[in-house]
Structure 1
Amino acid sequence: MTTPRALFTATVAAVAAATVLSAPATAADKDTTLELMLVHGDQVRRTTLTCQPHGGTHPDAVAACADLQQAQGNFAKLPGVKDKTCTMEYNPVDAKAMGTWRGVPVEFNRHFGNPCTLNAETGPVFRF
């Protein structure tokens, strides 16, 4: 026979568990999944990047996620490579990103004059 105290304890435990499971995720816990693409002449390269945990097909997800973290998911504010000198050679490359940063939809499209300026401005994020 179930006592009222045992029933009360079980109910409190169930409510506590449901509260923990339904608690809203913090920004750090939300999904970061990005599809990155480079278009350079006739060549198109793609990769996926996930953060927390780091992964996807990106060859250096840890460094790319660290730079995105520093920029708070804003591709226009990526730290890039400091003190990088590039020639003025015109060899255009387009960089694109679509997905979510900590649960918030993001989209980035930018035209760069050459791969060197792409690397200088975006660092490891578009280095694949």
Structure 2
Amino acid sequence: MARTRLLFACLALAVPLVPATASASPLAAPLHASGLVLSVQPESGPLRTTQLNCEPSGGLHPHAEQACDQLTPVEGDFRRLEETGAMCTMELNPTKATLRGKWRKKRIDFQQVYSNPCVVRAFTGKVFDF
């Protein structure tokens, strides 16, 4: 009986030490200077959304590094991106491209409607290529 009490006393003292030890070296989450949520919504088609982090590049965007490389010189304003020169059909399928989040310390909320998904990619390069 004395051994059982001693065991419980030791366990009672050890339990508070476990969280303190576990929190002594927390995992550092990467700090991103820019975090954006991008979406593409064609009139005839599904909504697609992804996350893009820049500085450093990452997130769920399949071309994060190239997209960040394009957004950096225009300070996150995708309307200032240079046209890629891609050839698109004359299909009419109005498509809204939306970019929301933080670029460096500035909040951004942009959207633009293009005539179809191909034109979105032609005007925004890898940024909306997901």
Do these two structures clear the TM 0.5 threshold for a shared fold by scoring above it? yes
Deviations 1:48-88 (A, max 9, x none): 0000111010001000000001222211101241x322222
Residue 109 of structure 1: which of 101, 108, 111 is its match? 111
| Structure 2 CA distance for aligned equivalents of residues 61 and 42 of structure 1 | 23
Rg larger in structure: 2
TM-score w.r.t. the length of structure 2 is 0.70
Counterpart check, 1:60 vs 2:60: no
Query: Please, which runs of 5 or more residues in structure 2 have no aligned partner?
Result: 1-30
Identity among equivalent pairs (%):
38
Query: Please, which runs of 5 or more residues in structure 1 have no aligned partner?
Result: 1-28
| Structure 1 CA distance for aligned equivalents of residues 117 and 37 of structure 2 | 19
TM-score w.r.t. the length of structure 1 is 0.71
Tell me how large the CA RMSD over aligned residues is. Answer: 1.6
How many residues get paired?
99
**1:1-128 pair list within 5 angstroms:** 31-40=33-42, 41-81=44-84, 83-128=85-130
Question: What is the identity, as a one-letter code, of the residue corresponding to 2:54?
Answer: C
Deviations 1:67-112 (A, max 9, x none): 001222211101241x322222102211111101111001111111
**What's the secondary structure of 1:43's corresponding residue?**
coil
TM superposition outliers: structure 1 runs of 4+ over 6 Å = none
